[in-house]
Amino acid sequence: MTTTTRFAPSPTGRLHVGNIRTALHNWLLARKHGGRFLLRIDDTDAERSREEYVDAIRADLVWLGLDIDGEERQSARLALYDEAFEKLKASGRVYPAYETAQELDLKRKIQLGRGLPPIYDRGALMLSEAERSTKEAQGIAPHWRFKLDHDEPITWVDGIRGQQKFDPAQLSDPVIRRADGSWLYMLPSAVDDIDMGVTDVLRGEDHVSNTAVQIQMFTALHAAQFSAKATSGGDPFPRFAHEALLVGSEGKLSKRLGSLGCDAFRERDIEPQALVALLARLGTSLPVEPIAERSALVASFDLSVFGRAPARFDDDELARVNTAIVHQLPYAAVSDRLPDGMDEVAWLAIRPNLQVVGDAGAWWAIVTGPITRPAFDDEDKAFLAQAAQALTWSDTVWKDLTNALKESTGRKGKALFLPLRQALTGMEHGPDMASLLPLIGEEEARKRLQLAAS
């Protein structure tokens, strides 16, 4: 089957760097195999979901260059979840439960006090029909749990973690539907993966136990003939892979990472290519490199190089990659972000000195002037006066000027080049003067030399 992956954010906030990494890796996996990358908006939480967040998610994916091959919204698929629920109910795989949140919390505390795992005790299954009727007559609406099959261990070969095995008796029967009829995450997600033909689910390692539960859901839906659609290799469930979570540079899980989103990176003038290049390789044995060409990242993407150690996100590394990416950007990619009058020749001259594209404005201001130059001693003033007289315009003006001054004054090295740079730019360092001087122009360059000599 065609490899199909999905990114399934909830529109209850902006994407953060962990979400972005998940989306990117699913996009890379799909593109590596010539497959499909789908966006699924998990908006069943009507109270917290916001349309502006849906728009922001789409905009962020566009900014990152992650094109999608289809979009679904869970709020438009409720009838499908109802159908799956009724089939599972008919096959005895879901059951009503009536405990309040306070009662469940008390049960957990008692179990922990006895040194037992806080697993749901299936008390609802012990109720008689009469007891259920009494509770409903009292106006107690049930929530619904999926009944795990305890007969066989849950196993799968994880694309990153390898062979996985869970004892279902050590897992709680998950709540899949609230008393008000609204859905929790796991059943709608499994239903969507079947219906949308998802073949590969790549997500964070915090979902490993969810996967164990969902594998039984996939199997139960398959047995209940919910859908004729199959996933990879005829299995009733997709291939799963769980990658290590991101941590901060200090080596700990960082709340700050949860606030780092595309807006924060845009405000820092980080290029999307730099963020993609970094996140594509984080958590793998491959080196992080400033690879702007997306096809190269796709070609090198391989689950077998992912490790189990936490993936460390380092701002300094992102800045380094960003600077290297900026030095590769062609004029066409940045022209709409440059100061008025700054053409391709100017961009190529200034680009090697930039850390972010936004710095181009400061260098262009040096070209267009006015500049603030340092005070020169009498010896340097005399030298600069000679430079103003020796200035003859040509295609090799800087080379011609410095050669002439070297011959006439005997100066060389720093004594030759630094006063000229300071007089012409006000700076001690910067772009190659052979490229910068033609941008300043003959009249302005002579004027700057004369002012420095006066």
pLDDT of residue 252: 64
CA distance 278 to 408: 51
| pLDDT (mean) for 171-195 | 96
User: Stretch 55-63: mean pLDDT, rounded?
Assistant: 97
- Computed over every residue of the chain, the mean pLDDT equals 94
Reported as a single tens digit per residue, the pLDDT across 346-387 is: 999 999 999 999 999 999 999 999 999 999 999 999 999 999
Q: What is the CATH number of domain 369-453?
A: 1.10.10.350
Scanning the structure block, which residue is given the tokens 């001693």? 377
Residues of the chain with CATH 1.10.10.350: 369-453
109 labeled part of a ligand binding site: no
* pLDDT at 250 > cutoff 90: no
73-106 burial: b if 16+ Cβ within 10 Å, else e: ebeebeebbeebbebbeeeebbbbbbbeeeebee
The pLDDT value recorded for residue 157 is 97
pLDDT score, position 253: 61
What pTM, to 2 d.p., does this model score? 0.91
CA dihedral 56, 60, 62, 63 (to 10 degrees): 130
In the predicted structure, residue 231 carries a pLDDT above the cut 60: no
Supply angle C-alpha 359, 365, 367, rounded to 5.
Answer: 110
**Mean pLDDT calculated for residue range 126-153:** 95
d(CA 171, CA 268): 44
pLDDT (mean) for 228-242: 75
In the prediction, which pLDDT does 258 show? 76
- Is residue 311 pLDDT above 80, yes or no? yes
